[in-house]
Structure 1
């Protein structure tokens, strides 16, 4: 079977996780965002750690943290190569690492870009910033203004890698899911 690998990405509080959960409830194979567990682990490990913005700029060793994220996303991608599912959905993809590092003015070596070029997805869906649903909580630290910057960096990261990025309309969760499924099924 030719499994389609589909990334759902966007800045914080854009509805990605809700859409991924709705896809999972419909029986689709979905891979979770890897940074959530890593962020909680880092908070526990670095007791005095205070997140005022994205974790990649708050941890004591941002490069090591970004490398962990990259490695986890590569592992997710590689796990999808063994899938017998028609579709595998990713809550963020490998190029998200580049986008966030660019957004927060962090440097990275060529291996980060090579990982994005080597491990290619079939569809990229970008969730736009949405002020009405934006929240800051234990897992989302960015302000709405930072969310706008992240969105621009995500779009640039994927398009610079040659992807056709499709914007997901602001709508109900189920309508957003239908939009994504209709888009990927049209190209079967």
Structure 2
């Protein structure tokens, strides 16, 4: 049995690929906020370096499983480090993996459901909308624009389905986006 956990100081910043999440999180970190980096990007880099199979273009289900497990561990480790008392921003949460599963028509297993229902971030989730002017692909981000828009839509739907309040972060400069988020939480 998974014991319920909730941390109102844990804020998720999410959205489709290439919308400025990492840049925004870097700005928040520069303002002395605690930030948890994205699991997916780190996993993809690691798998590419080791010729691994847990990649979205090799073994989607293995990628999904490893990403979910690491996201849950990240939540737990962060809770231990900050003792739950410090405002912390996550570059995606474990519900992003549930969204990914739905995007690839893969099962959301019982364990994933249990964590999603029992381990809770702050009820407000900041979602960055698709922004074509800043979108670009790279070695870890291979989705095209259409997939980026679909991911945004599914991400909003996924978080809302688990009872989170979606806060769409405006398309502004990184400083203004950071000001918007900090202003909202204060």
TM-score over 0.5 (shorter chain) = yes
Work out whether residues 3 and 86 of structure 1, in 8 Å CA contact, stay in contact via their aligned partners in 2.
Answer: no
Q: CA deviation at 1:35?
A: 1.3
Matched, 1:119 2:119: yes
Report what 1:177 is aligned to.
Answer: 178
Equivalent position of 1:52 in the other structure: none
Checking the alignment, whether the CA contact within 8 Å between 1:128 and 1:167 is kept in structure 2 is yes
2:151 paired with 1:150: yes
Q: Distance in 2 between matches of 1:64 and 1:115?
A: 18
- Tell me what 2:134 maps to: 133
* Partner Cα separation in structure 2 for residue 45 and residue 108 of structure 1: 27
Superposition pairs for residues 65-80 of structure 1, below 5 Å?
65-80=63-78
Q: Distance in 2 between matches of 1:8 and 1:130?
A: 15
**Pairwise CA distance, 1:166:** 0.4
- CA shift, 1:15, in A, is 0.6
- 3-state SS of paired residue (2:156): helix
* Distance in 2 (alpha carbons) for counterparts of 1:165 and 1:80: 23
Whole-Å separation in 1 of the counterparts to 2:130 and 2:104: 17
Structure 1: gaps (5+ residues):
50-54
- The match for 1:88 is 88
- Offset, 1:3: 5.8
- Which of 30, 37, 42 in structure 2 is aligned with 1:25? 30
1:164 aligned partner = 165
| TM-score (norm. length: structure 2) | 0.89
2:141 alignment partner, SS class: coil
| Contact 2:40-2:67 at 8 Å conserved across structures | yes
In structure 2, the residue matched to 1:44 is: 49
**Unaligned regions of 5+ residues in structure 2, if any?**
1-6
Give the TM-score normalised by the residue count of structure 1: 0.88
1:133 alignment partner, SS class: coil
**More displaced, 37-46 or 126-135?**
37-46
1:113-132, CA deviations, whole angstroms, 9 ceiling, x for partnerless residues? 21111210113100000001
Structure 1 residue 14 corresponds to structure 2 residue 19: yes
Task: Supply the distance in 2 between the matched residues of 1:3 and 1:125 (Cα, whole angstroms).
Answer: 14
